[in-house]
Every structure is written in structure tokens, then in C-alpha cells.
Amino acid sequence: MRRILVANRGEIARRVFRTARAMGIQTVAVYSEPDADAPFVREADMAVALRGSTSVETYLDVDQILEAVRRCGADAVHPGYGFLSENPAFAEAVTAAGVTWIGPTPDSIRAMALKVEAKRLAAEAGVPLVPGAELPDSLGDAEVARIAADVGYPLMVKASAGGGGKGMRIVESADVLAEALASARREAQASFGDPTVFLERYLKRSRHVEVQVFGDTHGHVVHLGERECSIQRRHQKIVEESPSPGLAARLAQPMYDAAVALAQRIGYVGAGTVEFIVAGEGDDQDFYFLEMNTRLQVEHPVTEMVTGLDLVEWQIRVARGEALPRAQEEIVPCGHAIEVRLYAEDPARGYLPNTGILHAFTVPSVARVDSGVESGCEVSAYYDPMLAKVIVQAVDRTTAAQSLALALRGATIHGLITNRDSLVAILESLRFAIGDTTTAFLDEEPTTLDAAVPGIVLDRHCVAVVGDAGPTPDGVAAGWRNVPAVHELLGLQRLGGDSRIVAYQRTRNGFAAGVLDGGADPFADEPRDLGDVGVRGADDAVDITLGGIQARCRVTRYGDLICVDDPLWSTQWREQPRFADREADAGARGPSTPVPGTVTVVDVKAGDRVTAGQTLVVLEAMKMEHRITADSDGVVIEVLVEPGQAVDAHAIVVVLDIKQEPT
């Protein structure tokens, strides 16, 4: 094996390249048109362009990938995770071309790829299953409703193919079942090319615990301990750790044995993960089989950190026909590792993805960072919005959590709204500290989704912007007035937050300042007095003294975007114009797209009467569905989009007349 092509993109491609280089193996990237300037393309020894932009057109196109393998002379293919990694036909095509497949056999993938079939095999192996039911295409609506009632509510609609939270919907009652089925099938078809779904009982306040297994071609299978991945948004993991903080000690070994037994049952080769749901508390816990992922997992770094092993190296060695590097008794976990997934999204707004330029991206060296981006990258709407995985390993869980939170606080992330503050709030919460990390965590701790920046921090950052502001091109300070008694004004709008107006007067050592919070009238309302603010230049930053507390703030500008970082908090602002753009305000005629994407469903037509909250259009962006709804009751005047149409962010999709009263 001298040249590996990674049939994937972003973070996992860079991860495989890193190990391959250390083993003296050449690397090849494939890339779509939007990824032409991505870091993983530059880091490969050679790269092959794929025609198209979407996943279906590029990273899911088997013929294009195989042609790239032929053209570059690769003698091995690593599929990463997602895309074609669990596609048995792709694995067969690779091996048929005389190229080494770095993964399990096509038969093993096929046995576990469809979750319905995987459950049958697990049941044969004696592993307990969550109650559920298959949904053959021939079933009518009445029969589906009866089967769902037998499974029991709440239930989960799950895609049979693929993973990563795609094609999954929680259904609380029968009246929303049909819509959930249709939506899950659309998402499954778009993500995996297979719309098949099934039903499964939804176990609230359970834990999602998985076991890493590894097999070789010599008949050996070992486990590498467990990971807990219970904290999830949209059924996709955002915090993973090893070992699990809440797994009953008596369940660990039986769970390991079940995972190994299932892998042996199908003659498993390579890296795999057997996932379980753990229900109950303490000694009353029981575990049930969920699925087996026949690939490397996104969260594999936490296992690497606690075992000291390189799982990609193991994959390559096993694919070359070597025996597993270690026997079971030689694998001894040490310490505790926690990983978080950093996304370009706004948790407070339904995890709305964010696209644009990532002007700056750095994370303190205390953490391991597996990232697909770097400073200056553009985050597009074509793929998953994950920017990076940030991982810390320590002697114990408390130290790992505190170190990871501090690393996130100290990260420089400029240009995009991210879930960084939400992740910090999770890691610093009491519930997390005591290990109460069930799948209901985010539902029961909603404040972690909209992690509030303390008011004094917002005040400090606003005045830091004032203190850092230089003169305009004509040599006059911004907002300068020649009447000392009149305040200078600076309007700021925080990305993902509200607006503020800073009213200030310059003094010898700084300025006297006040703040008008969002919605205030600067000509009628009195500013909230901040008192005297001390300002002192410090290299590329300013030391701000406010309320008797001094903090060093670094202010960075990218056009009209202003980013402020202190040792513990970061905020992003745009300077507001002095006078409102009334023409822009008048241009809003109806619901618009929150992000760029592709229209998949249009549910209304001209003349339809709609009610507030009714779905008008469904948009697919960043591998997720977004429902665009009516803000109020009204009548559809015009529909401006159609299924299959690509749209930019803030594009109006439907023109509504809200003055007409429904009859």
C-alpha cells in the first residue's frame, strides 16, 4: 500500500492524511467545486476534481470516485465516514478494481447497513432490542397508523440506511406521524439515496452508549471500551466522552461481550461501532441494541486519547492483512477524554446553520483539534456545518471538562455564528458535572442553547470597540462632535443578538460612557450610566477598566464586522448606520430563506389562505431540512420558488397579503 485515496472531504480527509504520511504512504484527495480551495485539498500529495457541487453530484458519485482512483493510480481507498463509507456496492467496486478497501468486507457492511436487517442479526445473537416495527412500501396509511400504535408513542422514525441523525424524527402523537414519515423519507433519500424508514419506541431520558470494536482477517476481534454520546441535537451527537459517566458498572462487561459477539457473528474486519441505548437509572439499567456503524466514527478521537492508539493506523494495518497490533488484555484505557463538535450554527434559533467567511480560527494548544477549516475558509451551504472537533484528555473527568471549556473560551473564531458558547455552557453546567447526561439533556437544560453573555461583558466589549476606534480618513474620530456636552454615539448590532448604542464623552484617560440597550431611542431615553471607563493601549489590544475590573480586549475588524475577544468571552458586532434604511425595510414582502439551499417542497399556491406557523416551503441546506413558515394569517399572492431551485440566503419564497381576512 503506497498511495491512499480518501473518498471524503474536510476534517476526516485531513485526519487520514496525517496518519498516512506518518506511515510513509502517499495521499490523494477528491474534491467538489465548492471545496476547490479547502485545506484538505492542499494537504494531499495530489488531488482530483469531481464535477458538481452537491453531495449526490460528487462525493456520492461512485463512477466519479472510481475514475479518480484509476487516474491517480491509488492502490487503496479510505472512505472516511458518511457519504459512501457504508455502501457495500462501493466497497465491492473498489475491490473489483484491484484496489485495497480500507474497511470491513462488503458482506459485513451489507449485514449492518440496513438497520432493519441489523436488528434481526442482533436478535439472533441474543442482544436485546428496542421495540419497533418495519414499514414495507406496500402499507397503506391506516396500516401504518395501526403499527405505530402497537409500537407506542412517543416513537422514532428512523432511516434504515445511513446515520448521523439524518432521516430521524421524534413523533409524540398520531396526528403528526404522516408529516414526520414524509420528511424523514425525503431526508433519507437526499442523504443516503434510500428512503426506507422504520419505527422504534423512543426511550426518554436514556443514554446513548457505544462500544468501539476492531477485527482483523486472522479471526481476532477486540473492543476498545465505550463512549457516551447522549448529548445530541437533532439526533446528532455534539458531546462525546470516554468512559461513560453514568453506565452501571455491572453493564460494562456484558455490553462489551455483546458488541464483540455481534462483530464475530458477521466476521467483522476493521473498525466498527456497536451502539446501544441504556435505559433506567443505577442498578436498574438495561441496554438495548440500536445499530452497528461499519466505519470509523466521528467521535473516534476520544477512544484514541484514552487508549493512546491510532485507530486510522489500525485500519490501514488490518487492510494490509496484518493482525491487530494488540490483544484484548493489552488495551488499557487511561484517564478521561471529552470531545465537542463545533458547528457554524445558532442553537438559540433552532440550530440555524451559518455560512460565510471564517476570517480567523485558532484554538489553544491544550486541546486536540480535528478540523476541516482554517482561517480564511468559506463555509458553504452544500455540506454539514461542522467546523471542528475539539478534544481534551485529562486524568479525570472534571479536569477534562474544565480544560475543554477553557480552550473553547480561548478560541479565536471570527466571521460566523457558532455553538461555542452553548458548548461551554454544557460543559460548565451542574448537570454535566454530576454526569446526568441523558438524551434529554438539551430539552431539560434549554438555557444552554441560548447561553447568555453577561451584561458587564457586553458593556466591556462595546466600550472596547469605542476605545479601539481610530480616526476616519479625514482625520476626525468617528462620531466626533465639537460640543463637549453632547454625547458621541456608536450603534452596534451583535451577531445572533440584540443591538446597543454606546453614548460616550472622551476624557483624558478614556471616556465617560453610557449604553442604550436594543430598542431604546437615543434622542428620548437616558443611557444606562457605565461611569468612567479606563482605556489603555496594549500591543494589539486595549485594556478596559470598567466597574473596577480590568480586562484585555482584542478588537479585530473585517470591513463592517468587528470581533472582540477577551480571555473568557468573544462577541461579534456590526456597526449600525446612523439612519435606518427605509427602502430596505420596505422591501420585506414575505417569508424568506434563512440560509442558501435547495427548495425541496412547495406546499402552497397563489390564492391559498394560510395561518401563522403553517409550512409554506421546505429548504434543504447543509444536509438538513428547514421549514419556512407563515409569520401570520394571510393569503398567498405569489409563489416565487419551485422544487429543485437553488436559492440564496434571505430570498423571499412567498408573497403574502396579511390584510385579507380569511372567510
The answer to whether residue 178 sits within a structural domain is yes
The answer to whether residue 112 sits within a structural domain is no
| C-beta atoms surrounding 631 within 10 Å | 12
Question: Is the per-residue pLDDT at 587 higher than 60?
Answer: no
The C-alpha cell at 461 is 466589549
| C-beta atoms surrounding 68 within 10 Å | 22
The answer to whether residue 587 sits within a structural domain is yes
Question: Is the per-residue pLDDT at 451 higher than 70?
Answer: yes
- Helix (H) or strand (E) holding 505, with range, is strand 499-506
Say if residues 515 and 503 touch (Cβ distance below 8 Å).
yes
Strand partners, 394: 336
Q: What is the pLDDT of residues 404-424, one digit of tens each?
A: 999 999 999 999 999 999 999
Measured between alpha carbons, how far is 372 from 344 in angstroms, rounded to an integer? 12
- The two counts, helices (H) then strands (E), for the chain are 17, 38
Question: Is the per-residue pLDDT at 621 higher than 90?
Answer: no
Those residues with Cβ within 8 angstroms of residue 219's Cβ, 6 or more apart along the chain or in another chain: none
Question: Is the per-residue pLDDT at 17 higher than 60?
Answer: yes
Q: Please tell me the total count of domains within the chain.
A: 5
Question: Is the per-residue pLDDT at 483 higher than 60?
Answer: no
Say if residues 120 and 113 touch (Cβ distance below 8 Å).
no
Mean pLDDT, the chain, integer? 89
Q: What percent of the chain has a predicted confidence (pLDDT) above 70?
A: 94
Angle, alpha carbons 359-448-366 (nearest 5°):
55
Q: At residue 17, what is the residue type?
A: F
pLDDT band at 644 (very low <50, low <70, confident <90, very high): confident
Say if residues 51 and 40 touch (Cβ distance below 8 Å).
no
Say if residues 227 and 383 touch (Cβ distance below 8 Å).
no
Rg over alpha carbons for the chain, rounded to the nearest Å, is: 27
Q: What is the pLDDT of residue 470?
A: 52
Measured between alpha carbons, how far is 261 from 215 in angstroms, rounded to an integer? 11
| DSSP string for residues in 342-377 | EESEEGGGTTEE--EEE-EEE--TTSEEEES--TTE
Question: Is the per-residue pLDDT at 113 higher than 90?
Answer: no
Q: What is the pLDDT of residue 282?
A: 79
Q: Based on the domain organization, do 383 and 513 belong to the same domain?
A: no
Helices (H), 235-310: 249-265, 300-307
Mean pLDDT of 221-225: 98
Q: At residue 625, what is the residue type?
A: E
- Helix (H) or strand (E) holding 379, with range, is strand 377-379
The C-alpha cell at 434 is 454530576
Strand partners, 356: 379
Mean pLDDT of 232-255: 94
Longest distance between any two alpha carbons in the chain, whole Å? 86
- Helix (H) or strand (E) holding 5, with range, is strand 3-6
Q: What is the pLDDT of residues 560-581, one digit of tens each?
A: 899 999 999 999 999 887 555 4
Q: What is the pLDDT of residue 320?
A: 97
User: Assign residue 539 a region: left if phi > 0, alpha if psi is -120 to 50, beta otherwise?
Assistant: left
Mean pLDDT of 551-558: 94
Characterize the bridge pairing of strands 488-494 and 499-506. Answer: antiparallel
Q: What is the pLDDT of residue 625?
A: 79
The answer to whether residue 186 sits within a structural domain is yes
Q: Based on the domain organization, do 177 and 53 belong to the same domain?
A: no
Please give the residue range of the domain that contains residue 628. 583-657
Outline where DSSP puts E strands in 243-311: 270-279, 286-293
Domain of 502, CATH number, reads 3.30.700
Q: Based on the domain organization, do 146 and 213 belong to the same domain?
A: no
Question: Per residue, what are the HEC states of 139-200?
Answer: CCHHHHHHHHHHHCCCEEEEECCCCCCCCEEEECCHHHHHHHHHHHHHHHHHHHCCCCEEEE
Q: Based on the domain organization, do 282 and 242 belong to the same domain?
A: yes
Query: φ and ψ at 336, to 5 degrees?
Result: -140, 140
The domain boundary, picked from 431, 448, 465, lies at 448
The answer to whether residue 119 sits within a structural domain is no
Question: Is the per-residue pLDDT at 376 higher than 80?
Answer: yes
Q: Based on the domain organization, do 438 and 464 belong to the same domain?
A: no
Burial of 395 (0-12, 13-18, 19+ CB in 10 A): exposed
Domain of 76, CATH number, reads 3.40.50.20
Q: Based on the domain organization, do 245 and 322 belong to the same domain?
A: yes
Q: Based on the domain organization, do 312 and 383 belong to the same domain?
A: yes
Query: φ and ψ at 142, to 5 degrees?
Result: -65, -40
Q: What is the pLDDT of residues 144-202, one digit of tens each?
A: 999 999 988 999 898 887 666 778 898 999 999 999 998 888 888 877 778 888 898 88
The answer to whether residue 108 sits within a structural domain is no
Strand partners, 545: 534, 550
- Helix (H) or strand (E) holding 634, with range, is strand 634-639
Mean pLDDT of 336-355: 93
First vs last C-alpha separation in the chain: 72
pLDDT band at 474 (very low <50, low <70, confident <90, very high): very low
- What's the Cα-to-Cα distance from 524 to each of 502, 516, 519, 527, 589, rounded to whole Å? 14, 11, 11, 10, 31
Q: Based on the domain organization, do 89 and 31 belong to the same domain?
A: yes
Mean pLDDT of 458-487: 66
Measured between alpha carbons, how far is 465 from 463 in angstroms, rounded to an integer? 5
The answer to whether residue 113 sits within a structural domain is no
